[in-house]
Amino acid sequence: MKCPRCGAENLDERVYCWKCMAPLKSGAMGPLPRTPTREAQPGAPAAPIPYAAEGKSWLAAALLAWFLGVFGVDRFYLGYVGLGVIKLITCGGCTIWALIDFILIVAGVMRDAQGNELRRTPNDWIIVLVIVVATIVLNIFYGVFSIIAGMMQRGMPIFKPIP
């Protein structure tokens, strides 16, 4: 749902806009939250408005989900402490939950606990793609070399000569 005042995208169940705190639904319950007021002093920097905080980094969330997702670190980072603890106890649902969370973050479906979209830059996709492909290729090489080393330790021929 778009905010009528600032145009920011909000979740459907939200009553107030996350960016400007304008009411999203006609008949929203309760008064608007007060905007912090402070007397400005000459030469003093403007006080930051706590409602205008940006979302969490998409790149950080994606990399945490890829490398530490089985421990729930990505959920802790996004503010879902309860789900992070459950994910930690279950080792990421035997890594299936961790893989699903990684896919949700990369697809842009996952938001932080306050409902904010994850903040992206144009190069984030490239960084995540390069790191994911590099770790997959390194794991394949590690597996192949481990098999070869195990065969050499047992005295098995790695390549059989063609008769």
pLDDT in tens, 92-104: 888 899 999 999 9
Q: Is residue 100 part of a domain?
A: yes
Q: Is residue 108 part of a domain?
A: yes
Q: Is residue 12 part of a domain?
A: no
* CA dihedral over 84, 87, 119, 134, signed as positive or negative: positive
Range(s) of the domain holding residue 146? 58-153
Q: Is residue 51 part of a domain?
A: no
The total domain count for the chain is 1
Q: Is residue 145 part of a domain?
A: yes
Q: Is 75 exposed, middle or buried (0-12, 13-18, 19+ CB in 10 A)?
A: buried
Model confidence band, residue 143 (pLDDT cutoffs 50, 70, 90): very high
HSE of 1, CA atoms in CB hemisphere, 13 A: 16
Q: Is residue 90 part of a domain?
A: yes
What pLDDT score was predicted for residue 35? 56
What pLDDT score was predicted for residue 43? 64
Q: Is residue 15 part of a domain?
A: no
Average pLDDT over residues 58-66: 96
Q: How many CB atoms lie within 10 A of CB 129?
A: 11
Q: Is residue 135 part of a domain?
A: yes
Q: Which two tokens stand for residue 13?
A: 């169940």
Query: What span, in angstroms and rounded, lies between the C-alpha atoms of 118 and 20?
Result: 18
Select the more confidently predicted residue: 130 or 47.
130
